[in-house]
Amino acid sequence: MRYGNASSRLRTAKSYPIISTENTSLADMKYFTNGARVIKAAFQNIIRNAWLGIATVMVLILALTSVNLLIGVNALLSRAVNILEDKIDVTVFFKRDANDALVRQARFFIEGLPQVRAVELIPADQSLEMFRERHANDPEILQALGELEENPLGATLRIQAHDTSNYPFIIETLKNPQFADAIESRTYDDHADSIARVHALSEQVRWAGTALIIVFALIGILIVFNTVRVAIYTQREEIGIMRLVGASSLYVRAPFVLQGLFLAALAMVITGLLVGIGIAWMNPILTPLYDGADPGLASYFTGNWPLLLLIEGGGLALIVIVTSWAAVGKYLKR
């Protein structure tokens, strides 16, 4: 009975495949060794062609700097448009004898409109003080004010809308008969000319920057292509031997593609440092041009750096991989 059980267990064991941990370890070791050789070969290519590698990095830095310069200029122009739009308002001047209750009612009515973002009520006394400050260098006007016994100015409402397209509706609303008799005048400064000039400048910068980026991208492709070609030429005998012993096309291509990616990564790091230094240097200079407001350059790059890194890094990596792959492929076809 014991012998029968033993033979049964032996037949069961034979029915299952035996997995050799030694074979698995050897396969893992082979992949690790090949990966280490590829990385070593890539660094050897960079060292052997150091000057060409430096030229490649410099051109890639110029291309990336041009991209970020265009992005920065567009951010500054967008910020300028936002600041100009914030200055747009409708100013309503009430008559001197307008009832205070009516003025407050008009304010509450305007604030209730969905198109209105903010309403500021300036009392008559404050309006007079602001008028004097604006004409501090005009003694004739100040003298005329001094001769008056009463304040010639009434209360003022300063209205800001959510969007510039809302202002015509607000102006029409102010013609409400309930308030029209108490209103002396209205002013509407839309800064349309300034905004149009900024938009036109932004369009010109965008076209010029795009052309510059295309030029540097083409130069970068040629430089990367030639860098890989020179590296292939210096190792033509080694590549020939690898092909003779049965090395795959992927194994031959990998060091050169990796070389291009290393150079691209170095260019990305240096460009990032240059952009950071440039922003820190430019921000204090640009602040007075924006009437003391934040130019928005640092906040834009800080808030969007993951997206910029993904787009710029991904685009550069794609260009380098395709160019390096094509350069090696041309040689392998011979």
Half-sphere exposure of 145 (CA within 13 A, CB side): 18
Select from 142, 169, 190 the last residue of a domain: 190
- Model confidence at 244, pLDDT cuts 50, 70, 90, reads low
pLDDT in tens, 187-235: 776 556 666 676 677 777 778 777 777 777 777 777 777 777 777 776 6
Average pLDDT over residues 43-50: 74
Residue 302 and residue 225 share a domain? yes
Give the per-residue pLDDT at 13.
40
214 with 277, same domain: the answer is yes
Answer yes or no: do 155 and 232 share one domain. Answer: no
- Could you tell me if 160 and 114 lie in one domain? yes
Domain boundary among 164, 190, 216: 190
Name the average pLDDT for the chain: 75
Q: Which of 169, 190, 211 is the last residue of a domain?
A: 190
Which structural domain range is residue 69 located in? 36-83+195-332
CA distances from 103 to 93, 100, 159, 181, 214 (A): 10, 5, 13, 12, 59
**pLDDT for res 332:** 64
The domain total for the chain is 2
Q: What is the DSSP string of 103-125?
A: HHHHHHHHHTSTTEEEEEEE-HH
Predicted TM-score (pTM) of the model is 0.64
Q: Give yes or no: residues 120 and 77 share one domain.
A: no
Domain membership of residue 233 (yes or no) is yes
Contact 77/209 with Cβ under 8 angstroms?
no
Looking at the domain assignment, is residue 27 inside a domain?
Answer: no
Considering the domain architecture, whether residues 61 and 204 belong to the same structural domain is answered as yes
Q: Quick: pLDDT tens for 258-295.
A: 888 888 899 999 999 999 999 889 888 888 877 777 88
Q: What is the CATH number of the domain that holds 156?
A: 3.30.70.3040
> 325 and 239 share a domain?
yes
How are the residues of the chain apportioned to helix, strand and coil, as percentages rounded to the nearest 5? Answer: 75, 10, 15
Same domain, 74 and 203: yes
pLDDT tens for 130-178 read 777 776 777 777 777 676 667 777 888 888 888 777 888 888 888 877 8
Q: Both tokens of residue 212? A: 């510059």
| More confident position, 70 or 9 | 70
Same-domain check for residues 109 and 244 = no
